[in-house]
Chains A and B, each alone.
Chain A
Amino acid sequence: KQEVTQIPAALSVPEGENLVLNCSFTDSAIYNLQWFRQDPGKGLTSLLLIQSSQREQTSGRLNASLDKSSGRSTLYIAASQPGDSATYLCAAYNYGQNFVFGPGTRLSVLP
């Protein structure tokens, strides 16, 4: 059964820093991995989807990488802004198992 973990659980950085959020999964036979953002009391907003055949995806200041062999994905946020403050969740999709989410990383970007 797929298990997903995220490190760190919480992160506080000053505005302008580049930062990396980590996601690990136990079953490397994934179809894709998706990163989401969740603001307090809100639903999930999709950030990036990486197919199993891809190594990385980029959207604006966000870059997500995928290394299936090591069971890891990282989300890189460049030049962080206070508006980036939220909880970031990764979810691995194994065929027949659906999305398995990590517990999230709670990010605070201080002005």
Chain B
Amino acid sequence: GAGVSQSPRYKVAKRGQDVALRCDPISGHVSLFWYQQALGQGPEFLTYFQNEAQLDKSGLPSDRFFAERPEGSVSTLKIQRTQQEDSAVYLCASSLAGTNTEAFFGQGTRLTVV
């Protein structure tokens, strides 16, 4: 597609529910990033893929967070047993290759845990 697409745009989950957030990167983009953005703050890094390989998951806040990109294109961020502190906007970005290329962000998924 023309840009990075994320779905759903909004998600309301009851505490304890599992959620799955989807990211469709720009076609041909090798690198894919997930970020978490709390209200009024800058995005915080969660994890990074190069093709299907998850090269860095140091930003995932707990073992309830899991991300995958099995075929090197679409990625899913899964949060198990959601808690209120997980409420945030989850942003996905892709770039053509590695480090020296421009990152393009999706519109984000706003997750509200009630």
Contacts and interface: CB of A to CB of B under 8 A. Distances in A.
Interface string B37-48: 000111111001
Contact of B45 (A32, A43, A44, A99): A99
Interface residues of B, number: 26
B42 A98 contact: no
Contacts of A34: 102-103
Interface of B: 4, 6, 33, 35, 40-45, 48, 56, 59, 91, 93, 99-108, 110
Instruction: Output the residue of B4, B99, B105, B108 with the most chain A CB within 10 A.
Output: B99
A43 B107 contact: yes
Nearest to B48: A98
Interface of A: 4, 31-32, 34, 36, 41-46, 49, 51, 89, 91, 93, 95-96, 98-104
B103 A46 contact: yes
Given A31-B99, A51-B100, A101 B44 contact: yes
B33 A98 contact: yes
Contacts of B110: 41
B105 A49 contact: no
Contacts of B101: 49
